Structure 1
Amino acid sequence: MRIAWIGLGIMGSPMAENLLKAGHPVTGYTLEQHKLDRLAAAGGTPAASVADAVRDADVVVTMLPADPDVTAVAGEVLAHAAPGTLYIDMSTVSPATAAHLATASAAKGVRFLDAPVSGGEAGALEGTLSVMAGGPADDFRAAKPLFAALGTTVVHCGSAPGSGQTVKAANQLIVAVNLQACAEAVVFLRKSGVDLDAALDVLAGGLAGSTVLARKRHNFLDRTYAPGFRIDLHHKDMGIVTAAAREAGAALPVGGVVAGLVAALRAQGDGALDHSALLRGVERLSGIPTEECTCP
């Protein structure tokens, strides 16, 4: 399948490269020239515009930061994609935005899936992402060979538009709460004078163990926060899940608190850091000077 890939960021670039490794021709577009150069070095074809990328594609994939970016690019995609093209948005946006894109795509004769991913930069590099897709089952089956090149957990979450985004919102809720719990445990252990490395070994081997703890262990130990997934983006995602939960009538008592803590960290100037920097917020509350932290 000829793939048009729009958005070559921290996750988009390695994902496009994994499709190239799997033998799929990829034409890519993004705003930064050095990212287009990286795609070309990996064997892909840089495009001069969204229209150029999309024109001859069988599948169009967007992997962009937020709802306004996706909505703006979707207009260009649908203006130039041929009827029958499969359009897959793998960004993290609201379920309502996904439903809107599905309706707009159908009006143009374009098939649409919302298929956000989880696993961060490491999962994108390793091709071990979790892919959660919403949309018609036939379209999911058509896209599955592509998803298999990107992730090891690939699930059709429902035929209703936005089903994948709803599951992704739940995922981001769990990740944020888990990160906050890990951050609080790390500060508690440090303040108590416990060997932190040994303590995390024990926690990782028991019921407290998690993918979050395994992936972010060295961030917590070294207090380094080079962005694999930025606080700015997790702040956006917590807005999505709290709004969607309100619409569904679901209470998020802990999630609401953590959303506030993520927002506070961003307001304190840490939005560009990795979301493991929630540790900095707990350190501030505990009287630990944040200037002691090592940041990129």
Structure 2
Amino acid sequence: MSGDGGARRTVAFIGLGHMGGPMAANLAGAGHRVRGHDLVPEALAAAARAGVEPAGSAAGAVADADTVITMLPAGRHVLDLYDTLLPAARPGTLFVDCSTIDVADARTAHERAVAAGMRALDAPVSGGVVGAEAGTLTFMAGGGEAEFAGAGPLLDVMGGKAVHCGGPGAGQAAKICNNMILGVSMIAVSEAFVLGERLGLSHQALFDVASTASGQCWALSVNCPVPGPVPTSPANRDYRPGFAAALMAKDLGLAANAVKAGGVQAELGLRAAELYAEYAERVGAAEDFSGIVRTIREQGGECA
């Protein structure tokens, strides 16, 4: 990926929260004209300080844009907003939805955009707030080859990698499959550390072995759930989130819905969804998803 941003674009960016705000700021910093809107005044003000032009409404933001990027909490928000945005946009505008939503909702959004004379791409991300701020996100894209190529210069600025996964909804499918792997692996890594504690292993000793052996995975080597071995992991910041427990619970819920609808035998994925739903009900967006290690430790009879 080039990262040079290509020709200057006029981009409408709707949803300027913890993820969308830094993504929009990176586009503005690369020289693109970015008009942003968010329902939270503080988010809009922060984006404005980073070079994003504030728009008084979502419809106003998209009126003269050639690309519209959305980063919203759920599918219903995307579909409701498209009812407002599609009539306000110019024909042929490229709509890129970076939200993580249900595959069916992504396909519906694509169909509505195309029916309105627009082009569309679903492009959810992986990498969390750190990746959004650093411009190192991974984009998983679903839609046509031409749309993927058209979005490429912008994805280059916001991310380190973009993968065209297939037709409409394929980006969302890849995202929920990836996060099912992540959720299950974080639980497994957390359980292993708690077991190691009971067996007298230090965190560092277990990390030194597993990180260079067959237990190596992202949940261990980058987002290690215990303090010490990986200084940059949330465990060393009292589990202040990079990727909040509530977001993991949401993504695993989407994966569980797809598992059930597809008749897939996925016991670990379904159980991970249950565990994260219970965990997120208590901590919400206040803790990183790796903080589930403390729940595992507590349920075993030893307080964190």
Give TM-score scaled by structure 1 length: 0.92
Task: Name the stretch that deviates more: 18-27 or 57-66.
Answer: 18-27
| C-alpha distance after superposition, 1:92-136 (max 9, x if no partner) | 001100110011111210111000011111111221111110011
1:59-110 per-residue CA deviation (whole Å, 9 max, x = no partner) reads 0000111122222222221131111000010000011001100111112101
Residue in 1 that maps onto 2:268: 254
CA distance in 2, matches of 1:129, 1:217: 19
- Residue 264 (structure 1) aligned with residue 278 (structure 2): yes
Q: Secondary structure at the match of 2:44?
A: helix
1:71 alignment counterpart = 79
Q: Distance in 2 between matches of 1:77 and 1:206?
A: 50
Alignment of 1:215-254 (within 5 A): 215-217=222-224, 220-221=227-228, 222=235, 224-254=238-268
Indicate the residue corresponding to 1:277 in structure 2: 291
> What is the letter of the counterpart of residue 280 of structure 1?
R
The residue number in structure 2 matching 1:131 is 139
Aligned partner of residue 216 in structure 1, secondary structure: coil
How many Å apart are 1:54 and its aligned residue? 0.9
> What amino acid does structure 2 have at the position aligned with 1:53?
A
Cα contact 1:19–1:26 (8 A) shared by 2: yes
Amino acid at match of 1:38: A
1:206 paired residue among 210, 213, 216: 213
- Structure 2 CA distance for aligned equivalents of residues 14 and 192 of structure 1: 43
Q: Structure 1, unaligned stretches of length 5 or more? A: none
State the distance in 1 between where 2:205 and 2:133 align: 29
Whether 1:145 aligns to 2:143 is: no
Counterpart of 1:271, as a letter, is G
Counterpart amino acid of 1:186? F
1:217 match: secondary structure: coil
Look up the match of 1:171: 178
Contact 1:183–1:220 under 8 Å retained in 2: no
Q: State yes or no: 1:109 paired with 2:123.
A: no
Q: TM-score, normalised by structure 2?
A: 0.90
Q: Distance in 1 between matches of 2:15 and 2:140?
A: 19
Number of aligned residues: 288
Gaps of 5+ in 2: 1-8, 229-234
Contact 2:91 2:118 in 1 (8 A): yes
Distance in 2 (CA, whole Å) between partners of 1:70 and 1:238 is 19
Counterpart CA distance in 2 for 1:282 and 1:206 is 24
Please list, as runs of the form range in 1=range in 2, the aligned pairs for 1:69-108 lying within 5 A after superposition.
Answer: 69-108=77-116
Residue 194 of structure 2 aligns to a residue in which SS?
Answer: helix
More helix by percentage: 1
CA distance in 1, matches of 2:139, 2:121: 11
RMSD: 1.6
* 169-178 vs 219-228, greater mean Cα deviation: 219-228
What fraction of aligned residue pairs are identical, expressed as a percent? 40
Q: Is 194-203 or 73-82 further displaced after alignment?
A: 194-203
